[in-house]
Amino acid sequence: MTKEYNVTLIPGDGIGQEISAATQRVIAATGVKINWEVQEAGADVIEKFGTPLPETVLKSIRKNKVALKGPLTTPIGAGFRSVNVALRKELDLYACVRPCKSIAGVKSHYRDIDLVVVRENTEDLYAGVEYPGGSPEADEIIKQAKGKIRPGAAISIKPISREGSCQIVDFAFTYALKHKRKKVTAVTKANIMKYTDGLFLAVAREISRKYPQLEYEERLVDNMCMQLVQKPELYDVLVLPNLYGDIISDLGAGLVGGLGVAPGANFGQNSAVFEAVHGSAPKYKGQNKVNPVALILSGALLLDYLGEKEKSEQLYNAVIKVIAEKKAVTYDLGGTAGTSQMADEIIKKIKE
């Protein structure tokens, strides 16, 4: 009897509906039976629900324990905080995993990149503990700082805990072992932020001793950026606090051709959410124009998580072949195909 899986689907805003539909069709072509429980979230549903993240979305993911999410719109500088951040906090999706792997046929200045960014997802400056300039809270912090902060400054607090650091660093080492990786690099700015990043680094050193079979090294985040541009082939698994992980994961995506080919996954103790990490590109909505690869490859990660490793590899290999052949790819990959036509070609490769 064929196993069936219940998975929450958040199609997303803008182009989300189109690339989500393409991903559903491609996954179905592998033969894996998924019952998709569709949930609405994001900027487009605020008027309907009064919130970009209805409670029904969280209930669905908690029940099914796995979700696939299209891109969601977040206004810059005003309005609600990121739905992506809220999902991670509410579901304690403490680990963000972003594989960055070169794909033949994708334009890039680099070849043979194969690294994984493991980012702490719930602490650091993304905890959202901020106070506007002139507020009583900000003024009190300025007072306590005794001249180190200018009067009237807005304040953002950077919490990093031992528990959170242990959780993410151990995840990185466990991930490295499971996926036959050889090295873990801890990335911080501990030379300047001696208490917060210093704690993260101290924890990384402690945990590294539990995994003698893996090489361990340390880099400062500014140097890490330079190293990745100059000699990315030297790196394997990177583990970082939240903000640095966000920045470095986009840098890694740039090394392999951009966010359009960059899958992503978020893991907690009880659930996992797989997502395309690029934006919702509302100006292309409904045009059947955009590249669906990032979400489709996130779907491959989802299949692997469900235990369907063979089907995951089948899907991944089909995507790689389609991109390499260039016959039915979208404009950003050098072709003229639409979103649905590229999905059709991937399905054809799967069935072959």
Catalytic residue positions?
A: 126, 189, 222, 246
* Alpha carbon of residue 26 to chain centroid: 21
The dihedral formed by the CA atoms of 45, 97, 239 and 230, expressed in degrees to the nearest 10: -100
CA angle 328, 331, 336 (to 5 degrees): 45
Q: Is 75 exposed, middle or buried (0-12, 13-18, 19+ CB in 10 A)?
A: exposed
DSSP symbols for 246-296 = HHHHHHHHHHTT-GGG-EEEEE-SS-EEEEE-S---GGGTTSS-S--HHHH
Q: Distance between CA atoms of 255 and 115, rounded to whole angstroms?
A: 10
Tokens of 248: 């470095």
Q: Which amino acid is at 62?
A: R
Q: Which two tokens stand for residue 212?
A: 């003698």
Alpha carbon distance 136, 5 (integer Å) = 50
Q: What is the DSSP string of 22-71?
A: HHHHHHHHTT-EEEEEE---SGGGHHHHSSSS-HHHHHHHHHHSEEEE--
Task: Please give the radius of gyration of the chain, using alpha carbons only, rounded to the nearest integer.
Answer: 21
Q: What are phi and psi of 288, to 5 degrees?
A: 50, 45
